[in-house]
Structures are given as structure tokens and as C-alpha cells.
């Protein structure tokens, strides 16, 4: 290639070189001619009053903090749950006398065929025991005695043993045979033979002994000296896992 033919090429290369020399420093230098990147800053979300935690600015030196009001609320809830929770699981039993295993009818005249009962017991966080009894299909407009007994029901009326007493003492002594120391659930039936009763005791079952049944008796429970706690013959029995 002749010298004259190379002239346009050389002129073009020189022009490109000059342009590159002028542009490169401008692109590489920092200054007002070049937009500076804005440092990215994570947005701080607003505190959520329903949450136990809230974010704070990391530049201030803390990543998370416990919201004091929520923490105190959690403590109050925990204490409340502890003081009001039942100390034992509630017990519920429903059975037909003479049909359901563990439920016996000893006298069909006073506990007719098809009669049934339900019992519910709960120990509360304030140290009480609440027992309710519901009966259905007994004789109408009649009083029945009912108490919690120490043993489970059996084929014989005496299988349930005596009354459960929180403080054990004389079976017919009013100092021990009374509705505060025993669980009395006397009931009066309506025209349909249904009735209900409730006993509220200021104590709970000891760890080593509990009642195991509710016995239906002939009449309301006596409070007289020498006969306190008695209510006549046993007509029916409902096993309850107190």
C-alpha cells in the first residue's frame, strides 16, 4: 500500500485517539459533571402496635427492641392464665342407669328404666371445686338425696363406700358430715322427672384421694345430730372419675 493511500487511515486513527484522550478522563473523574450515586438507605417501617417487636434505625446501634407495653401485657396475661387456670382437667360423665357400664339402678321404682344422669366437676385456679349434677327421667316432683362417694359404683349398693370427706371424721357427725366437708347434690325433680343441683366447695381433692361416684338416695340429706349426712336407701349410682 502506498504512502498516500495510508493517509486517510492514519488521520482516522489519530482522530479516534484524540477523542479517547479527551473523553476517558471526563468519564473517570469525580466531579460536578458526573451524577454521584445516592447511598441506599433501608426504609424504617413504622412501629406496629400489635407486634411485640419494632424495628429501630440500625445506625443508632440497636437492631430490635421489645416494646415495653406489650411485654408488660404478656406478663399480665401469663400471670392471669396461671392464677385462673384449672388445676385439673374438668370431668364430665353422662350415663343411663342400668345400661351404661359404671351406672347402676338398684330400685327401678325410683330410678325407672331409661333414667340417666350427667355430672361435671372442675377445680378452679382459686382453690375451689365445683360439681354439678343433672338427672333425667326420675320420678316427677320428688326430692332425692345425692352425694359423692369414695369408691366406684358396683352391682351392690354398698360398693361405692361412704361419703367422700375432705377432712375425714364421723360418718354421721355434723362436724364432718356437712355440705362444706362433703359433696352434697340433693335434687328436686320437675313434672318430667328432671332436675339439677350444684355444690361449690372451698377446697380441692387431695393428691392421694378423690371421690369416684355419685349415689342417688331416697330423700334429702339429714343435718341432724346422729343422722347427719344420711339420705336413706341407695337407688342409683353413677361412676365419676373425679
* Residue the block writes with cell 362436724: 175
Q: Is 15 exposed, middle or buried (0-12, 13-18, 19+ CB in 10 A)?
A: exposed
148/198 same-domain check: yes
- My answer on whether 99 and 198 are in the same domain is yes
Burial 178-213 (b: 16+ CB within 10 A, else e): ebebbbbbbbebeeebebbbebebeebbeeeebbbb
**What are the pLDDT digits (tens) for 11-50?**
444 444 444 444 344 444 444 444 455 455 555 554 444 3
Burial classification of residue 152, based on how many CB atoms lie within 10 Å of its CB (0-12 exposed, 13-18 middle, 19 or more buried) = middle
The reply to whether 3 falls in a domain is: no
Range of the domain at 48: 40-84
The rounded distance, in Å, linking the Cα atoms of 182 and 211 is 10
pLDDT of residue 42: 53
198-230 pLDDT, tens digit each: 999 999 999 999 999 999 999 999 999 999 999
Based on the fold, state whether residues 64 and 152 are members of the same structural domain. Answer: no
pLDDT in tens, 151-190: 999 999 999 999 999 999 999 999 999 999 999 999 999 9
Give the pLDDT mean for 114-138: 98
Classify residue 225 by its DSSP letter: T
CA 24 to chain CA centroid, Å, is 75
Give the DSSP letter of residue 113. T
Indicate whether 10 pLDDT > 60. Answer: no
Lookup: cell for 127: 382453690
The pLDDT of residue 51 is above 60: no
Percent of the residues in the chain that have a pLDDT greater than 90, as a whole number: 63
Domain count along the chain: 2
* 75 and 142 share one domain: no
Same domain, 53 and 108: no
Q: Does residue 34 belong to any structural domain of this protein?
A: no
Amino acid at each position: 500500500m502506498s504512502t498516500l493511500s495510508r493517509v486517510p487511515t492514519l488521520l482516522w486513527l489519530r482522530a479516534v485517539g484524540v477523542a479517547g484522550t479527551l473523553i476517558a478522563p471526563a468519564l473517570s473523574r469525580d466531579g460536578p459533571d458526573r451524577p454521584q450515586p445516592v447511598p441506599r438507605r433501608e426504609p424504617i417501617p413504622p412501629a406496629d402496635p400489635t407486634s411485640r417487636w419494632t424495628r429501630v434505625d440500625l445506625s443508632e446501634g440497636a437492631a430490635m427492641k421489645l416494646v415495653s407495653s406489650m411485654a408488660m401485657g404478656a406478663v399480665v396475661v401469663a400471670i392471669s392464665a396461671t392464677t385462673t387456670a384449672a388445676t385439673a382437667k374438668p370431668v364430665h360423665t353422662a350415663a343411663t342407669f342400668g345400661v351404661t357400664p359404671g351406672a347402676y339402678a338398684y330400685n327401678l321404682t325410683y330410678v325407672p328404666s331409661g333414667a340417666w344422669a350427667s355430672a361435671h366437676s372442675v377445680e378452679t385456679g382459686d382453690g375451689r371445686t365445683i360439681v354439678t349434677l343433672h338427672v333425667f327421667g326420675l320420678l316427677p316432683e320428688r326430692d332425692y338425696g345425692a352425694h359423692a362417694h369414695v369408691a366406684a359404683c358396683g352391682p351392690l349398693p354398698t360398693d361405692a363406700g361412704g361419703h367422700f370427706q375432705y377432712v375425714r371424721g364421723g360418718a354421721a357427725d355434723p362436724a364432718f358430715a356437712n355440705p362444706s366437708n362433703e359433696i352434697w347434690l340433693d335434687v328436686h325433680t320437675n313434672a318430667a322427672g328432671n332436675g339439677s343441683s350444684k355444690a361449690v366447695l372451698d377446697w380441692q381433692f387431695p393428691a392421694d384421694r378423690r371421690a369416684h361416684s355419685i349415689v342417688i338416695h331416697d330423700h334429702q340429706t339429714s343435718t341432724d345430730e346422729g343422722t347427719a349426712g344420711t339420705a336413706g336407701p341407695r337407688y342409683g349410682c353413677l361412676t365419676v372419675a373425679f
